[in-house]
Homo-oligomer: A and B are copies of this chain.
Amino acid sequence: MIFEGGGQGPMAPDPSLNNHHKGDHMERVLLSHGAGGREMVALIERVFLAKYRAPGFTGDDSAILNFGSQALAFTTDSFVVDPIFFPGGDIGRLAVAGTVNDLLTAGARPLALSASFIIEEGFKIATLTAIAASMRQAADEGRVAIVTGDTKVVPKGAADKLFITTAGLGAILKPGVSGAAAVAGDKIILTGSVGDHGTAVMLARENLLQGEAIISDVAPLTELVLALLEAGCEIHAMRDPTRGGIAAALNEIARQSQVSLEIDEARIPVKPGVTAACEALGLEVFQVANEGKMLIFVAPEDAARALDLVKANPYGREARLIGEVKASPPGRVQVRTTIGTARILDMPSGELLPRIC
């Protein structure tokens, strides 16, 4: 979405912004404001979007720009992950995959990326070279070119090692794909297991070794999504469940589309090692970031065909239909648990995981 994390729809003032009952001029940004949940949405709404809705504003991960007869998708993200290398990837692969996947959610073919580097003085040049190589590989895999960039070096201590900001440009293949376009009857495809990225990064950060290796899923999903669009599948909405996990992504779409989502918990794949690690770390796996997964809302008549196409892609082998869209109550995400009861899956709030992406 524009100013990612939200801004969609009317929103009550969030009391968490009045931290410690300080005067307004003394309020400060908290880690929770960057976590992808409720507090981030409120901060963005208040600071960046109040009285300012630019042309192209969508509430989605990409803005849409009409340019002559063609529509363009345009998006950006900063990456501050710690550590910069983790099982399954690194900050460079993450920076490419994150922006490519945001373009894809707009029904766009990725065309070009920019990459801007903020580097702490003393960073090893060999490490920077390895990260640049990883970005090229991810860009090739994501069928996109990195065409422009910038480097800034800051004195030691002014930044922690390396931050990368990518922006991306895509050509809309299927107009109207949006988090606001899900309709009652749509089936929801999840392309694979959840929680892998956030869990892998947290374990790496805490230097916790696992008997069973947990690997980040970070990947550009260009081929998986383009296969659906090129086959003419009636996709209505897509979202990559990054910060805030599938809990945030599903709640965003329920609110944007003003629909109700019914999810079957038993159908959401979670790797056993991820479940165990989340329990040990005190994490709710549905709130944990993924970086190589997609939630796809597809018209019911195309659901089986779309699922087959997704499963044919290496990143979609474990894809499942996890639920469907109902008309009401609007904005609600309800999970049928494995024991047959129902619970509300809320928008995450609180600190969640800092520096996970």
Contacts and interface: CB of A to CB of B under 8 A. Distances in A.
A327 to B, nearest CB: 30
Contacts of A68: 68-70
Given A4-B151, A5-B151, A147-B54, A47 B160 contact: no
A128 B29 contact: yes
A125 B22 CA distance: 12
A159 to B, nearest CB: 5
Q: Does more than half of chain A's interface fall in helix, strand or loop, or is it mixed?
A: mixed
A142 interface: no
Interface residues of A, number: 85
Contacts of A271: none
Interface stretch (A116-124, A308-316, A332-340): A116-124
B116 A118 contact: no
A118 B355 CA distance: 11
Nearest to A114: B76
Interface in A97-119: 111-112, 114-119
Interface in A47-61: 47-48, 52, 54-57
Nearest to A146: B54
A129 B78 contact: no
Interface string A186-220: 00000000000000000000000000000000000
Interface stretch (A30-38, A226-234, A262-270, A284-292): A30-38
A16 to B, nearest CB: 12
Interface stretch (A164-172, A173-181, A299-307): A164-172
Interface of A: 2-5, 17, 24-35, 40, 43-44, 46-48, 52, 54-57, 62-63, 65, 67-70, 72, 74-80, 82, 111-112, 114-126, 128-129, 132, 136, 145-155, 157-160, 163, 165, 167, 169, 171, 354-355
14 contacts: A2-B148, A3-B150, A5-B150, A26-B124, A28-B121, A48-B132, A56-B145, A62-B148, A75-B148, A78-B118, A80-B159, A82-B158, A154-B355, A155-B354
